[in-house]
């Protein structure tokens, strides 16, 4: 066995830190995407309301930030739940609301098969 300085991080510590940072980016992306979508898109797609998804993805981002900042492992159940919440938003909600268009305005020229 080799000597390791007590303050040094092992390879496993680095792996989990990179994993936590990746999860934080994923959760932050879900939160920013939910911010950008119009409120009516959530209702039109029969999904939960926009404020609820903002709370869910916002809390997930805060938990991800805390996990990435502490640089500890094993990753706790809250970090896993936060990642799953962001994954549900990005895989279930986002595909259904991304094509929502508001009607009216000068740039909304829609034909029978899409914009023209």
In this predicted structure, what is the pLDDT of residue 58? 97
3-state secondary structure 63-83: HHHHHHHHCCCCCCHHHHHHH
pTM over 0.95: no
Summarize pLDDT for 26-85 with one digit per residue, the tens.
999 999 999 999 999 999 888 899 999 999 999 999 999 998 888 666 678 899 999 999
d(CA 116, CA 114): 7
How many whole angstroms separate alpha carbon 89 and alpha carbon 64? 15
84-113, pLDDT tens digit by residue? 999 999 999 999 998 887 655 455 566 667
């Amino acid at each position: 066995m080799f000597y390791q300085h007590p303050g040094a991080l092992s390879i496993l510590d680095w792996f989990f830190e990179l994993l936590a940072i990746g999860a934080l980016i994923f959760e932050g992306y879900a939160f920013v995407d939910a911010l950008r979508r119009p409120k009516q898109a959530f209702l039109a797609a029969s999904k939960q309301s926009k404020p609820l998804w903002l709370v869910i993805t916002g809390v997930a981002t805060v938990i991800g930030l805390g996990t990435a900042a502490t640089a500890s492992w094993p990753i706790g159940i809250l970090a896993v739940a936060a990642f799953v919440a962001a994954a549900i938003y990005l895989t279930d909600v986002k595909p259904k609301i991304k094509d929502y268009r508001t009607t009216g305005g000068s740039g909304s020229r829609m034909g029978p098969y899409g914009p023209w």
